[in-house]
């Protein structure tokens, strides 16, 4: 079981905490006792373009149920003034930030399903492609611009950039489309470049990718729930789905690094949830310890 006091007294902000990896990361930070500010566009009063039911209030409540302190603050991270106001609120209420997680994505529907993958750039919808880049990259830049000044106030701050695929994997694999490929490679590089800047202030930045994650959208795609997801393996889902993981797994990866007194060893690195599980020994909520990235080329 996670140490419920490993991050007690620490202040974390998960940008993009509504669902998927963001919710899993917020939950795992809560398991470790952190105060977790959960931001995103979907609230109980307003939905984002996803038009899904998950809300940041639900995520904050889950954080509190698991032993942390969850706080929901609605924020559109593409809007600089909203992020500026978020930073001002965090500064006023907490005076610092110990962990910042850039998990903003918001382009799952824009990237389309398998039937739309491998569409060449000259046939791909330009407006959708540019929107993917804005959601995946601009949001992270805007968030770091306004919130990193809070992170560098004290040595030991941690910035986590959440992406899809490690540097090594993405360097040799085409990822869905030119736009998606560029977005995910860019986020890895953001961790590298920001790590260069944070090191001067005693901070650490790294990129973390989950493996094949059983997000709410993924479970719906294969027509299963978390309780019976294995029934999809080899039927509605490929065999590789048997090595999938819950969003909490990458969350526990983030929490493990955040609690590590020697976290600086990860500065500028690109790592996966499975790789970090091998180092820190944490497991998924079902006790599994999947590490799919080294095997993806064989599936």
Q: Does position 261 have pLDDT exceeding 60, yes or no?
A: yes
Q: Which domains does the chain have, with CATH numbers?
A: 11-210+245-290 (3.40.50.720)
Alpha-carbon distance of 59 to 250, in angstroms, equals 16
pLDDT tens for 146-173 read 999 999 999 999 999 999 999 999 999 9
Look-up of token digits 């909490």: 248
pLDDT tens for 199-234 read 999 999 999 999 999 999 999 999 999 999 999 998
| DSSP conformation letters of the chain | ---TTTTTT-EEEEET-SSHHHHHHHHHHHHTT-EEEEEES--SS---TT--S--HHHHHHHHHHTTSEEEEEE--TT-HHHHHHHHHHHHHHHS--SEEEE-----HHHH--GGGTT--TTTS-HHHHHHHHIIIIIHHHHHHHHHHHHHTTSTT-EEEEE-SS-HHHHHHS--SSHHHHHHHHHHHHHHHHHHHHHGGGT-EEEEEE-SSB--HHHHHHTT--GGGGGGGBTTTB-GGGGG-B-HHHHHHHHHHHHH-TTGGGGTT-EEEHHHHHHHH----TTS-----GGGGGG-
- Mean pLDDT for the stretch of residues 40-58: 90
- Report in angstroms the alpha-carbon separations of 267 from 74, 103, 115, 191: 30, 18, 37, 8
pTM for this one?
0.96
Q: Does position 297 have pLDDT exceeding 80, yes or no?
A: no
pLDDT tens for 77-131 read 999 999 999 999 999 999 999 999 999 998 888 888 888 899 999 999 999 999 9
Q: What is the share, in percent, of the chain residues with pLDDT greater than 90?
A: 85
Q: Does position 34 have pLDDT exceeding 50, yes or no?
A: yes
Q: Does position 192 have pLDDT exceeding 50, yes or no?
A: yes
């Amino acid at each position: 079981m996670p140490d419920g006091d490993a991050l007690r007294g620490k202040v974390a902000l998960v940008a993009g905490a509504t669902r998927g990896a963001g919710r899993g990361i917020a939950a795992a930070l809560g398991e470790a006792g952190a105060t977790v500010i959960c931001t995103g566009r979907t609230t109980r009063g307003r939905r984002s373009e996803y038009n899904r039911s998950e809300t940041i209030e639900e995520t904050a409540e889950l954080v509190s149920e698991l032993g942390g302190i969850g706080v929901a603050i609605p924020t559109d991270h593409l809007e600089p003034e909203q992020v500026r106001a978020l930073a001002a609120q965090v500064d006023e209420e907490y005076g610092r930030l110990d962990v910042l997680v850039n998990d903003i994505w918001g382009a799952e529907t824009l990237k389309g399903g398998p039937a739309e993958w491998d569409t060449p750039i000259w046939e791909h919808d330009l407006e959708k492609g540019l929107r993917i880049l804005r959601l995946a990259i601009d949001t992270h830049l805007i968030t770091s611009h306004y919130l990193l000044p809070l992170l560098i106030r004290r040595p030991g701050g941690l910035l986590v950039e959440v992406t899809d695929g490690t540097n090594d994997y993405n360097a040799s694999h085409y990822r869905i489309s030119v736009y998606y490929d560029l977005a995910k490679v860019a986020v890895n590089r953001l961790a590298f470049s920001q790590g260069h800047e944070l090191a001067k202030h005693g901070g650490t930045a790294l990129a973390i990718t989950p493996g094949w994650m059983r997000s709410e959208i993924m479970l719906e795609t294969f027509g299963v729930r978390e309780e019976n997801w294995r029934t999809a393996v080899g039927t509605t889902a490929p065999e590789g789905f048997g090595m999938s993981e819950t969003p909490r797994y990458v969350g526990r990866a983030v929490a493990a690094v955040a609690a590590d007194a020697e976290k600086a060893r990860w500065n500028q690195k690109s790592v996966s949830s499975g790789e970090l599980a091998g180092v820190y020994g944490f497991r998924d909520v079902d006790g599994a310890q999947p590490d799919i990235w080294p095997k993806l080329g064989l599936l």
